[in-house]
Amino acid sequence: MQNLSPSQSLFSRIYLEKISLASLIETLDLRIKVQTVLSHAQSKRKVALSGLCGSLGSLLLAELFRSTSAPMLIVAKDERLELYENDLHILLGEASIMDFEREPSLTLSALLAGEKKIILTSPSELCRKVLAQETAIERRMHLRRGETIGYDTLQAFLQNNGFERKEFVEEEGDYAVRGSIIDVFSFGALKPVRIEFFGDEIESIRTFEVNTQLSNAEESDFELVANMIGSSEASASLLAYLPAESLVITAVFSDEEFGVSDSDYFSRQEIEKKLMSFAQVQLLELTKGDVHFDATPQTRFDSNFQLFAESLKKDVARGARSVIATQSQKELNDIAEFLTAEPAGESGDALTLQTLSLNFYEGFSCQSLSLYTESDIFGKLHAHRRRRRRRRRQISLRDLRALKVGDYIVHEEHGIGRFMGLEKIKVAGAWQECVLIEYDRGDKLYVNLQNLHLLSKYSAGEGAHTKLSRLGSDKWQQQKERVKKRLKDIARNLIELYAKRKMTQGFAAPADTVWMREFEAAFIFEETPDQLSAIEAIKQDMQSPAPMDRLICGDAGFGKTEVAMRAAFKATEGGKQVAVLVPTTILAHQHLRTFRQRFQNFPVRIEVLSRFVPKSEQKRIVEQIQNGEVDIVIGTHRLVSKDVKFKDLGLLIIDEEQHFGVAIKEKLREDFPTVDTLTLTATPIPRTLQFSMMGARDLSIISTPPKNRQPIETIVHEFDPELIRQAIGRELARGGQVFFLHNRIDSIAQIFDLLKGLFPKARIRIAHAQLPSKELEEIMMDFLDREVDILICTTIVESGLDISNVNTIIINRADMLGLADLYQLRGRVGRSDRKAYCYLLTPPASTLTQEALQRLATIEEFTELGSGFNVAMRDLDIRGAGNLLGAEQSGYIYELGFDLYQKILEEAVAELKSTEFQNIFKEAEAQKSKPDKPTEVTFYFNALIPDYYVESASERFALYERLTKLTNQEGLAQFAAELQDRFGKMPEECENLLLVTRLRLAATALGISRIEVMEKKCVLTFPEGEDRAFYEGKIFGAVLDAINSGALKDYSPTFKNEKRLKLDITFPKDYKDTPKKAIETVMQILKKFHPEAETVSAV
870, pLDDT greater than 50: no
Q: 713-864 is classed in which CATH architecture?
A: 3-Layer(aba) Sandwich (3.40)
More confident residue, 178 or 880: 178
748 — pLDDT class (breaks 50, 70, 90): very high
Q: Measuring CA to CA, which residue among 170, 168, 162 is closest to residue 182?
A: 168
293-302, 496-505, 753-762, 1018-1027: which has the minimum mean pLDDT? Answer: 496-505
Q: pTM, whole model, 2 decimals?
A: 0.65
Distance separating alpha carbons of residues 619 and 221, to the nearest angstrom: 76
Strands 1017-1021 and 936-938: unpaired
1095 — pLDDT class (breaks 50, 70, 90): low
Give 552's Cβ-side CA count (13 Å radius). 30
Distance separating alpha carbons of residues 786 and 789, to the nearest angstrom: 7
Specify whether the CB–CB gap between 724 and 809 falls below 8 A.
no
770-784, 894-908, 950-964, 1051-1065: which has the minimum mean pLDDT? Answer: 894-908
Strands 321-325 and 369-373: parallel
Specify the length of the chain in residues.
Answer: 1099
Q: What is the CATH number of domain 140-225?
A: 3.30.2060.10
Q: Measuring CA to CA, which residue among 786, 740, 736, 785 is closest to residue 612?
A: 785
1097 — pLDDT class (breaks 50, 70, 90): very low
End-to-end CA distance of the chain: 53
pLDDT digits (tens, 9 = 90+) for 539-559: 999 999 989 988 888 776 788
Q: 392-473 is classed in which CATH architecture?
A: Beta Barrel (2.40)
919, pLDDT greater than 80: no
79 — pLDDT class (breaks 50, 70, 90): confident
| Residue 32: CB atoms within 10 Å | 9
H/E stretch holding 689 reads: helix 687-693
53 Cβ contact list (under 8 Å, min separation 6):
293, 295, 296, 297, 298, 362, 364, 365
pLDDT of residue 871: 35
pLDDT of residue 760: 94
pLDDT of residue 1098: 44
pLDDT of residue 330: 84
376-380, 425-429, 811-815, 1013-1017: which has the minimum mean pLDDT? Answer: 425-429
Average pLDDT over residues 888-910: 74
Nearest 10 degrees: Cα torsion 978, 981, 984, 989: 10
pLDDT of residue 924: 55
Specify whether the CB–CB gap between 759 and 732 falls below 8 A.
yes
495, pLDDT greater than 70: yes
* Residue ranges per structural domain of the chain: 21-132+233-292, 140-225, 392-473, 492-695, 713-864, 936-1089
Nearest 10 degrees: Cα torsion 426, 430, 432, 437: -20
Average pLDDT over residues 295-302: 89
333-347, 831-845, 905-919, 1027-1041: which has the minimum mean pLDDT? Answer: 333-347
For a pLDDT cut of 90, what percent of the chain falls above it?
Answer: 44
297-311, 345-359, 437-451: which has the minimum mean pLDDT? Answer: 345-359
Q: Measuring CA to CA, which residue among 95, 27, 38 is closest to residue 63?
A: 38
pLDDT digits (tens, 9 = 90+) for 983-997: 989 999 999 999 999
Average pLDDT over residues 713-737: 89
SS3 820: helix
Distances in Å between the alpha carbon of 372 and those of 13, 384, 404? 19, 18, 57
628, pLDDT greater than 80: yes
| Residue 290: CB atoms within 10 Å | 17
Distance separating alpha carbons of residues 34 and 281, to the nearest angstrom: 11
Average pLDDT over residues 389-414: 63
* One-character DSSP codes across 563-592: HHHHHHHHHHHTT-EEEEE-SSHHHHHHHH
Distance separating alpha carbons of residues 541 and 315, to the nearest angstrom: 44
| Residue 1058: CB atoms within 10 Å | 7
801, pLDDT greater than 70: no
pLDDT of residue 718: 92
pLDDT of residue 577: 96
Q: What are phi and psi of 38, to 5 degrees?
A: -65, -40
Superfamily of domain 492-695: P-loop containing nucleotide triphosphate hydrolases (3.40.50.300)
pLDDT of residue 305: 86
SS3 224: strand
The DSSP bridge partners found for residue 1062 are 1021, 1056
Average pLDDT over residues 759-773: 90
Average pLDDT over residues 560-575: 95
Specify whether the CB–CB gap between 59 and 90 falls below 8 A.
no
197, pLDDT greater than 90: yes
Distances in Å between the alpha carbon of 930 and those of 659, 910, 914, 925? 39, 11, 12, 10
92-96, 602-606, 863-867, 1042-1046: which has the minimum mean pLDDT? Answer: 863-867
Are 21-132+233-292 and 492-695 the same fold in CATH? yes
Distance separating alpha carbons of residues 526 and 704, to the nearest angstrom: 12
Average pLDDT over residues 1002-1019: 93
583 — pLDDT class (breaks 50, 70, 90): confident
Distance separating alpha carbons of residues 867 and 705, to the nearest angstrom: 10
762 — pLDDT class (breaks 50, 70, 90): very high
More confident residue, 211 or 367: 367
CATH of 936-1089 among 3.40.50.170, 3.40.50.2000, 3.90.1150.50, 3.40.920.10: 3.90.1150.50
| Residue 166: CB atoms within 10 Å | 16
295, pLDDT greater than 60: yes
pLDDT digits (tens, 9 = 90+) for 313-339: 999 999 999 999 998 888 888 888 888
Q: Where are the beta strands (DSSP E) in 521-572?
A: 549-554
Query: b/e per residue, 658-671, with b = 16+ CB within 10 A?
Result: bebeeeeeeebbee
388 — pLDDT class (breaks 50, 70, 90): very low
15, pLDDT greater than 60: yes
pLDDT of residue 347: 52
pLDDT digits (tens, 9 = 90+) for 25-66: 999 988 888 998 988 887 777 899 999 999 999 999 999 999
Q: 21-132+233-292 is classed in which CATH architecture?
A: 3-Layer(aba) Sandwich (3.40)
* Helix runs in 696-747, H state only: 721-733
* One-character DSSP codes across 651-687: EEEESSGGGS-HHHHHHHHHH-TTSEEEEEE-S---H
685, pLDDT greater than 60: no
pLDDT of residue 256: 74
Distance separating alpha carbons of residues 244 and 250, to the nearest angstrom: 17
Q: Which residue type, as a one-letter code, is found at position 641?
A: S
Specify whether the CB–CB gap between 379 and 68 falls below 8 A.
no
What does the mean pLDDT of the chain come to?
84
More confident residue, 1065 or 686: 1065
127 Cβ contact list (under 8 Å, min separation 6):
237, 258, 259, 261, 265, 266, 267, 268, 270, 271
Distance separating alpha carbons of residues 762 and 787, to the nearest angstrom: 10
pLDDT digits (tens, 9 = 90+) for 946-973: 988 988 887 888 899 889 889 889 999 9
pLDDT digits (tens, 9 = 90+) for 140-156: 899 999 999 989 999 99
The DSSP bridge partners found for residue 739 are 791, 809
pLDDT of residue 1070: 93
What are the respective helix, strand and coil percentages of the chain, to the nearest 5? 40, 20, 40
Average pLDDT over residues 383-412: 58
Specify whether the CB–CB gap between 384 and 833 falls below 8 A.
no
pLDDT digits (tens, 9 = 90+) for 819-836: 767 877 887 888 776 778
